[in-house]
Structure 1
Amino acid sequence: MKLVLVSRLVLVSMVAVAAAAPTARADLPAHKFLPVAAALSIAQGAYDACIQQGHRVSVTVVGGEGQTIVALRGDGASPHTLENSQRKAYTSRTFRAPSGDIAQRVKDNPGLGLVHLTGVVAIQGALPIKVGDEIIGAVGVSGAPGGEKDEVCAKAGIDKIADQLK
């Protein structure tokens, strides 16, 4: 008799847990992310914009967690530009701001210490990629003569898929 009672209690418990499980999943937040196809379009758009201006650059697009999704080193781009574009993109994503804003913050407060963090660089040339107010990635460009030119190319890449970022 005890075995039957225990079996029924276990069965009732299992049914209760199974009934509650879908409710728990329904409460998970929706997560927006940057698909590879969109990252490729951004990278190509940024690269093309710089090439049209005669700049040999590298472009990196990172996702929402700072992970590299697309990295390309353009023909004739200096070897360091690939790493620099990645670090710019990572910086922009990490601080949720254009990398040029971080460069200005460090210039205004040299003791801030941000540049001592692994993977961070305080140089203009990267922009966050947003869907509404949510940051889903960043694009960094390196190789044009001056970070402001890199940033113009980064913006051109984002603008290429602007209709998808609404």
Structure 2
Amino acid sequence: MLSHVSKFSRYCALHGAALVIGAGLSHGHAASLITTQKLDWETAEKLAATAVRICARQGYSVTAAVVDPSGHEQVVIKGDTVPLQSLSVSYRKAYTAFSYGQAFGKNTTSELIAAKLTGPSNGALNTVPEVLFIPGGATLRKADGTVIGGLGVSGAPGGEKDEACAVESVTALKGDFQ
């Protein structure tokens, strides 16, 4: 039995057609495929777990979420006694740090807020699904500055405490982002 490639090659030979492998990839044409880098699941899990442990050492039970370059949750680690809303809030902080950190070159949700990148004074951007301008999110970057995701932490008594845990976790594992 002939394979599909063999059948196609035979058809081309019989009908005078050329079989071209890799067409469109040379002669200065851009490739039709792109490659996106993201953390592997083990590193993403380690990053979230480290943030939860850092906060736990300070007496805070939190949830930590990592989003990948598509903006989807890659990992969620939930502390033992966190309120239910910390699940969605940690994701939204990670998403905001990732998407707006990438767009505006900021590294945390606090930096976005300080730069007044929260949108119009009526808070319209806060009505966009998944966006949340509250401290507690950190943008994940490779050494060359390429954004590869976001980390959000929620559950400590104050976003600045959440963000401190997120930033400390990112700093501790930054070498694993290469």
Q: TM-score, normalised by structure 1?
A: 0.83
In structure 2, relative to structure 1, the CA distance for the partners of 1:161 and 1:23 (3 Å cut) is farther
The counterpart of 1:138, out of the listed 150, 154, 158, is 150
How far has the Cα of 1:153 moved from its partner? 0.4
How far has the Cα of 1:8 moved from its partner? 5.3
How far has the Cα of 1:79 moved from its partner? 1.2
Q: Structure 1 stretches (4+) deviating beyond 4 angstroms?
A: 21-30, 106-109
How far has the Cα of 1:114 moved from its partner? 1.4
SS in 1 for 2:156: coil
- Identity percentage of aligned residues: 28
Decide which structure has greater helix share: 1
**Whole-angstrom CA distance in 2 between matches of 1:38 and 1:147:** 24
Contact persistence 2:109–2:136 (CA under 8 A): yes
SS in 2 for 1:61: strand
Residues 49-99 of structure 1: per-residue CA shift (max 9 Å, x gap): 000000011110111111101112211111111110011001111112322
Contact persistence 1:114–1:120 (CA under 8 A): yes
Residues 1-46 of structure 1: per-residue CA shift (max 9 Å, x gap): xxxx983521xx21xx215366499955553211101101100110
Alignment-mate amino acid for residue 115 of structure 1? N
Q: TM-score, normalised by structure 2?
A: 0.78
Name the Cα RMSD after superposition. 2.8
